[in-house]
Amino acid sequence: QVQLVESGGGLVQAGGSLRLSCTASGLEFSQYHMSWFRQTPGKEHEFVAAISRISERTHYADSVTGRFTISRDAAKSTVSLQMNNLKPEDSAVYYCAARSFRRGTYYSFRLDDYTYWGRGTGVTVSS
């Protein structure tokens, strides 16, 4: 059974930092590109960042470029999102998602282009 489990969310003041992690099990981690999305109530999922399966490529949403960094640890089957200089508009539930390398490009904005999803971890940034 495949599982993606996010952790690291919480409450932080504006300007602060958080590090989210997503641990994968039940899949061959090296065969999946990984992405982070976020969602706020009443809005659709928003792409945040992606990393290719062997970490050679990353891509970020314009809104987080320069503040967020995505990375992965193959030995731990974990993908992380370091979030610095957080803003209130970063408040959301953050989800990690896995996309098989067989599906082509390492990231997509379409939710149905991802095979597996975690249940999310909440981030609240107070002003």
pLDDT digits (tens, 9 = 90+) for 89-100: 999 999 999 999
CA distance 45 to 47: 7
How is residue 114 annotated by DSSP?
A: -
How does residue 83 score in pLDDT terms, banded at 50, 70 and 90? Answer: very high
pLDDT at 51: 97
Nearest to 80 by CA among 49, 44, 43: 49
Average pLDDT over residues 48-63: 94
Average pLDDT of 57-82? 97
Give the pLDDT of residue 55: 74
pLDDT of 104 strictly over 90: no
